[in-house]
Structure 1
């Protein structure tokens, strides 16, 4: 189901929903520009989110972008562990709802 070539079909959305897609692309571009966080830090955050949402497209695109910004194996590994901890922590904190009387 997942094939990076599918991303070429985003052009259909660009044509059929041009106003919304133009707004999305502008927002996306602005979100990843360096500011208080570096471009690399923003890409590492995106990877953490992509790992928790389990989007293979986002994982691939943002790992490539992070590597372009100089991300190391160690930074990617730590990002993965943080994402795993947050996901596991969410399961544990939600488990508190199991014990309501």
Structure 2
């Protein structure tokens, strides 16, 4: 099982990127605009888009992505059942490595839900 503290990981990533945001403000604004436009409600709901984003994070083995997208899903009112169904597809498509990151995503979900991280 993962030993990641996803709340701490998110905080560390944000802190570590602070200097980069100052050094490359246009690039970071562009990334933020891309994220906002991509995740906006449309033919797919924002929740479905976040489930897709988390699935990519799991199959690409990105712990930071897992933390950020689990947090976003909880804010959007996703259920653990929705998370688990999406993770089953990840395991189907990504095999054993995706299964290892599925455990990490479940831990992130449970720890953030227990600590109320979604409101931060």
- Please classify the TM superposition score into its range, dividing by the shorter chain length: 0.7 to 0.9
Task: State the TM-score, normalizing by the size of structure 1.
Answer: 0.78
Task: Tell me what 2:57 maps to.
Answer: 50
Unaligned runs of 5+ in 1: 89-101
Task: State the TM-score, normalizing by the size of structure 2.
Answer: 0.67
Q: CA deviation at 1:54?
A: 1.4
Task: Tell me what 1:71 maps to.
Answer: 78
Question: Contact 2:39–2:46 at 8 Å: present in 1 too?
Answer: yes
Alignment equivalent of 1:6, drawn from 12, 17, 21: 12
Q: 10-19 or 27-36, which moves further after superposition? A: 10-19
Task: State the distance in 2 between where 1:4 and 1:14 align.
Answer: 15
Q: Equivalent residue of 1:80, what SS?
A: helix
The question of 1:82 aligning with 2:82 is answered no
Task: Tell me what 1:32 maps to.
Answer: 39
Q: What count of residue pairs does the alignment treat as equivalent?
A: 87
1:36-60 residue CA offsets vs partner (Å, 9 max, x unmatched): 1001101100110010111111111
Q: Equivalent residue of 2:32, what SS?
A: helix
Greater RCO (Cα-Cα under 8 Å, separation 6 or more) = 2
